[in-house]
Amino acid sequence: MTCEQFPQSALSMEKRVELIAELTECVSPAKVLDDSDSLQTWGRDWTRFHEPAPLAIIFPQTIEHVQAVVHFARKRRIGLVPSGGRTGLSAGAVAVRGEIVVSFDDMNAISKFNPVDRTVVCGPGLITEQLQQFAEEQGLYYPVDFASSGSSHIGGNIATNAGGINVIRYGMTRDWVAGLKVVTGTGQLLEFNKGLLKNNTGYDLQQLFIGSEGTLGLIVEATMRLTRPPKALTVLLLGVPEMSNIMKVLDTFQNKIDLTAFEFFSEKALSKVVEHVGVQRPFETNTEFYALLEFECLNDQLSDQAMQLFERCVDNGWVVDGVMSQNQTQRVNLWRCREDISEAISRWSPYKNDLSVVVSKVPAFLAAIDAVVSREYPDFEIIWFGHIGDGNLHLNILKPETLAQDEFLSHCHRVSQWIFDIVQKYDGSISAEHGVGLLKKAYLAYTRSPAEIALMIGVKSVFDPDKIMNPEKIFDI
């Protein structure tokens, strides 16, 4: 028996009232919501391709509350969907079959800070930006950063192994998790690693939960590592005429300077930011692509070296124009050319593909995908940007205003199959950092072998035998 056999959306009103009354015994009555506005708000993430239909929203305040909710859900065979900042882009936090949404908004405190170990113990509902600000107040730095850091939660970052703009230097979220407390699908509380730097005692179960999208259990506490802050961050924004040249620019700079970021975006992306967000163009020359490099400019020697490398790129025809930030304000404004793209294109309800290949294959990979989409759907506008320094590309297909949402989605699903054929050919990933959720689960086999998928399903059955944890995400179970 699984929760799939009893979709709560089919319940009578009398039965729903009974279940919600019983659910309030897990927390205070004020911490359970079932009005239509709340169900719509907390029942979805940033994706808009599935209509939310949760039974209720619950706001636990303690680990004991979470365990009580899990025991209730297990007894009643009701699915649980974890909810953080709801900034996900794979429909991983969408409740579509009468599940209970478990929001961690109230479990958002920093409970401990260890300056010697450089660790912070926090609740899963702590906003990423708040951790960054806390680290700064201690003279330290939390390096995982992305456009949604002002609203995303640490628990959600861990559940999706969030990446962002600093991966080339600092890695993914999993590299900054020192310990976890989780509640499994049986209601069992597990504590992993306890902040240790070295812990070679069998299987690392913590790593299974990082990136598991809530399908194994609920993260209820995290111990996060901090590091020293970078100094004198400086941005170079370069105009690049051809995609293949971007990799030559990366190679040129990376061999001489330790980069903290290496991003790219297309002229079409920049045009949207300039037109709809009001960001100024960085320089007069328009080029097909742009590369944004960031590094610690600790002295005049490094500044001179960066300019010499820029001139070398210009002399070779790889770059035709560029600008280097001279202060923090200029640095922030140059970053806006890249970071404001998602906001600028949001009005077109873009269909997003979050892809990755090894860095050396990026130009050929992008060209192959661009050719297929342009050939099959010449009326679709394609916006490219991404964390190209780690091989992560974001493909955004904008919905034509005259095309209905359902029809657009149908076309994009067809496009995805062609795209993922190319991903498979290049030994890439269908999801570099957004996760699988509902949107990508039909395509999981393009990146994972049947044996791997079977083993992952087996792992889920150990931690979540009744299949109540974020059901139907990643797999159809």
pLDDT of res. 9: 56
Q: Is residue 282 part of a domain?
A: yes
Contact assessment for residue 367 and residue 243, using Cβ atoms and an 8 Å cutoff: yes
Q: Are residues 215 and 280 in the same domain?
A: no
Q: Are residues 221 and 285 in the same domain?
A: no
Q: Kindly give the pairing relationship between strand 189-192 and strand 289-296.
A: unpaired
Q: Are residues 213 and 266 in the same domain?
A: no
End residue of a domain, out of 309, 325, 342: 342
Full DSSP string of 137-153: HTT-B-----TTTTT-B
Q: Are residues 414 and 427 in the same domain?
A: yes
Q: Are residues 85 and 116 in the same domain?
A: no
Contact assessment for residue 430 and residue 444, using Cβ atoms and an 8 Å cutoff: yes
Q: Are residues 364 and 292 in the same domain?
A: no
Walk along the chain (477 residues) in steps of 10 and give the mean pLDDT of each run: 51 88 94 96 89 96 98 97 94 95 98 98 98 98 94 97 96 98 98 96 98 98 98 98 94 96 97 96 96 97 97 98 97 96 92 93 92 87 94 94 89 90 97 94 96 98 98 94
Q: Is residue 469 part of a domain?
A: no
Q: Are residues 384 and 309 in the same domain?
A: no
Q: Is residue 204 part of a domain?
A: yes
Single-letter code of the amino acid located at 114: N
Residue 74 domain boundaries = 3-106+458-463
pLDDT of res. 8: 55
Alpha carbon distance 48, 108 (integer Å): 26
SS3 assignment, position 115: coil
Q: Are residues 52 and 82 in the same domain?
A: yes
CATH number of the domain within which 102 lies: 3.30.43.10
Q: Is residue 451 part of a domain?
A: no
Q: Which residues contact 334 (CB under 8 A, 6 or more apart)?
A: 235, 237, 282, 292, 323, 325
- The count of domains in the chain is 4
Cα 422 to Cα 368, 369, 418, 451, distances in angstroms: 7, 7, 7, 21
CATH number of the domain within which 256 lies: 3.30.70.2190
122: tokens are 């926090």
Q: Is residue 62 part of a domain?
A: yes
CATH number of the domain within which 207 lies: 3.30.465.10
Q: Is residue 102 part of a domain?
A: yes
Q: Is residue 453 part of a domain?
A: no
Q: Are residues 263 and 368 in the same domain?
A: no
End residue of a domain, out of 225, 256, 287: 225
Q: Are residues 31 and 137 in the same domain?
A: no
Q: Are residues 366 and 303 in the same domain?
A: no
CATH number of the domain within which 430 lies: 3.30.70.2740
Q: Are residues 356 and 256 in the same domain?
A: no
End residue of a domain, out of 342, 362, 385: 342
